[in-house]
Structure 1
């Protein structure tokens, strides 16, 4: 920490050492204000949904702030006055923190913005930050360290993982989902499968469609989509199940599980033609599920008969004289 450009005042002593290794996760509250005679508060994390978090050594955009936090022990409260020459990135960092943690997010559609190098063509969407870009100032940061999680003691966020860790996290999430499903926690299982699918989508965005890695990731998606669709059916989310099974069937038209589950969902939303098509095909492809398919088709026939009867009754009432 450059003591000529950063002045520290300890307001409350913390406990423990500060020899933080890279990868340590720090949870902290921060209040930023100008150094004017009448200070103006720019940010106050106590007005946000939760404290901010910083992963040390991961190229945080505001190096001066990370340097300050590295000097603080758990539970410590300190005020840092930082020279404006070190604060050029602060408006963008503040915007990022507000977007992530603020309870009252701005409507981004009404306030478009984008960055170009270190300049901001259309502003950041926050007038006070736009003013700070135009007129840099020394700022005072009051920081309280809420929690310190040493490297290796917590589950890494996906963005902080190495490529190998990201790929390995997906089957791990699938197994967690399977375990939750076995004990009847279909909602919890659904969340695990959904998270794994989201991670796969992020990995696939980095690959060219059709290339070897992209195809490998796409193959990994299929069982996750099937597991997720089963959970959706059990939670009554039938249209979601239909959508995800359809994604599988686009790649694997004869996938029996996808046909059966989509057919079952079609029964539940009363789409007789589609249900009959999927269930009859599934029964032909796999004799072991033929009985289950026939049971659903029998139920579908009863639903159709009831619907026809109701329609006939309603139609006849139209011509019944009062």
Structure 2
């Protein structure tokens, strides 16, 4: 079994992540390490929880020999020239080239300009459709970092950087557009090693080549469904590693939707096993993302779905224990964590988490005990009655004696008077 630090140093089941502007197309599923598929993965030995599994390195594309992005320039026209003999469609395209920049989001951080009008106006794609584009991306200085003749992705699924996903929805078929985007809609503060520096603004030249409806999930073969689900899962890993947990959750949910969809095609037992393995990885990473956003109820549901299929899944047990502790269910959380520790006694992360929750539970019981004593009084030391002074005489006895004395005196006076 892989060592603790090696096996869970990254998001579960993570292979090379997409670079954010590219979506590998028609690639076979990345093979998991044999040890990873046959043995239970251990937890990372650290004081932090373990969401990251395997190592994921950014895709290194050597594009140093590619030409810089070519500027599209329109030929100057003279007012004295004779009327052109070009057909109306060509005239329309020339006018579209002169179109001003479109401020896509209204904050001047993402802009689009038509370079070549599409031949089919009104043919814009919609979310959920599959598109194929030719993409060239360069830095502000002109260095080309991406040049792909064919890039296929599902519009609106977050398969690519936001600048591309948002702007392609505003393009007609066969249109070529220039997109200028701030870093926040591309690779943000981290950039993409080694070719895109942090906080880099990018220029994208995009041609919308093809638009078609996404495939019917019910008709996908087992391998096709597996490949599609893995693409969404790996994209979720990409977002998770960048702390973009909302986007990560969206990608994991899409992968789970693909896996759980009904099918009219028979799958082999091996394909069923592989699909279940991908489902477990998505659910575990989904729970990790939900925990980061304090979505405890949703995280608990994700953990329980894992444990329904794999009752001894350590990561699911560990995260379920953390969720229950966050909700104040310390007794149940401690029991779950002890079960995980029994499965992997040498794990330092579980030891640390269990010790922390035991201490919190003890502190909670002490606070409750003190509160009850304050409310009900100290029952261990009942109050003693105040002792009476030995010389004190009850007022009733004193009153009675006085009455008798007065009565005696009165009787003596009456008797003397009679005599």
TM-score, structure 2 normalization: 0.39
Greater Rg over alpha carbons, structure = 2
